[in-house]
């Protein structure tokens, strides 16, 4: 089986809780987020995610996971 070459943003998606969690946060379909793992998070979406969860971007080198929720779902 061929290994996928994921974009560095794939790590951020994983820190935010994975494909399903990011899809819920951004209100998009999971296959869209799967594409982001390969091509990178679109700029506007990355800005939105950074505003909601700056820690996911700050810990990029630390290997930590972030518990992501949408605003109002805490």
According to DSSP H, which parts of the chain are helical? 9-15, 19-26, 30-39, 43-52, 54-58
Tell me the domain boundaries of the chain.
9-58
Per-residue pLDDT of the chain (74 residues; tens, 9 = 90+): 455 678 999 999 999 999 999 999 999 999 999 999 999 999 999 999 999 999 999 865 455 444 555 455 54
CB neighbourhood size of 34 (10 A): 16
Q: Model pTM?
A: 0.73
């Amino acid at each position: 089986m061929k290994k996928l070459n994921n974009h560095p943003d794939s790590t951020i998606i994983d820190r935010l809780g994975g494909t399903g969690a990011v899809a819920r946060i951004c209100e998009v379909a999971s296959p869209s987020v799967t594409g982001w793992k390969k091509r990178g998070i679109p700029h506007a979406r990355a800005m939105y995610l950074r505003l909601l969860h700056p820690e996911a971007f700050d810990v990029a080198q630390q290997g930590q996971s972030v518990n992501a929720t949408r605003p109002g779902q805490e």
